[in-house]
Amino acid sequence: MTDASAPRIHLGPVEDPHVADGIRRAGGVLVPLAEAEGVVWVQGPETFPSALPDSVRWVQLPFAGIEPWFDAGVIDDKRVWTSAAGAYAGNVAEHTMMLLLAGVRSLPEQLAAQSWRKEEFDPRVGTLQGSTVAIIGCGGIGRALIPYLAASKVKVIAITRSGTPVEGASATLSADRTGEIWSKADHFVIAAPSTSATRHLVGKAELDQMSESSWIVNIARGTLVDTDALVDALEAGSIGGAALDVTDPEPLPDGHRLWKLPNAIITPHVANPATTLTRVLADHVATNVARFAAGDDLTAVIDPSAGY
């Protein structure tokens, strides 16, 4: 017998078993859309219903980056919308650390080598030990990355919207002070949301302030980095390199200049592996279903006016 007070959740457009289990674990019951007070969606906006019943008070989206949902005009102000921000932080932090180490250690060049080449001093091979890494947009991913960096005795400068201190960071600056860090840090991780205000957050002026050994890692959105300015800096050797899981344009076309650069690492937007997507999302959904049932504030609430 179903508890009449249990939150009525519609799972669509398919009943993914991991997410369905998360809803049930949190005390929710699965119902048709017409009977739902909450909707959990596991695909993109192209399959989302053109209209929702007035009974729906909350919608959970499956991704951390929700720009396509805004572009599609899906998100309204009639109900609470939540993203998956933070749900995949562990996966993405692991990938970020891999990219940063691969760059600093000149791993792509080592992998491409066909003969034993060892010089007494090779400035391209460095270490993270004792360096300073700035995390721009230090939310869930940045917080998950900090313990990895701490293991290498890295000093972290965290940039957040509010500037509220981030645990494990040596310093936390508000977003309006981002301009201060480009000449202070050794390496940079871009993890900020993509909005009109953050487009080309990293451009020629920022790249010019970095050192010749600096690596920049972008695991957020390609539009946060001015691709042409980045390629110019990489070709000139004015920075150490760039490791990109996201690009602008994306997908990165065959023959693009970035593919040809030895100091560029490209991974095809796989920091959050599809093989674990719904399994990880299920825990995030379970948390929000339980909060929804209790009348508590939900996790990763979207601010329509801010765009994320």
| Residues carrying an active site annotation | 221, 250, 269
Helix (H, G, I), strand (E, B) or coil at 242: strand
Measuring CA to CA, which residue among 48, 9, 3, 4 is closest to residue 288? 9
Rg, the chain, Cα only: 21
Question: Which contiguous run of DSSP H or E holds residue 12?
Answer: strand 8-12
Structure tokens given for 22: 């998360």
Amino acid, res. 52:
L
Find, among 78, 278, 308, the residue nearest to 192 by Cα: 308
Rama region for 202: left / alpha / beta (φ>0; ψ in -120 to 50; rest): beta
Q: Regarding beta strands 155-160 and 171-174, do their DSSP bridges make them parallel or antiparallel, or are they unpaired?
A: parallel
Q: How many CA atoms lie within 13 A of 204 on its CB side?
A: 4
Closest by CA position to 153, among listed 184, 128, 187: 128
Sheet holding 8-12, edge to edge: 29-30, 8-12, 38-41, 58-60, 80-82
Crossing angle for the helix pair 277-294 and 17-25, nearest 10 degrees? 30
Task: Identify each DSSP E strand in 61-146 by its residue range.
Answer: 80-82, 132-136
Alpha carbon distance 240, 187 (integer Å): 9
Q: Which two tokens stand for residue 85?
A: 């921000």
Nearest in space to 304 (alpha carbons), one of 12, 83, 140: 83
For residue 119, the cross-strand partners are none
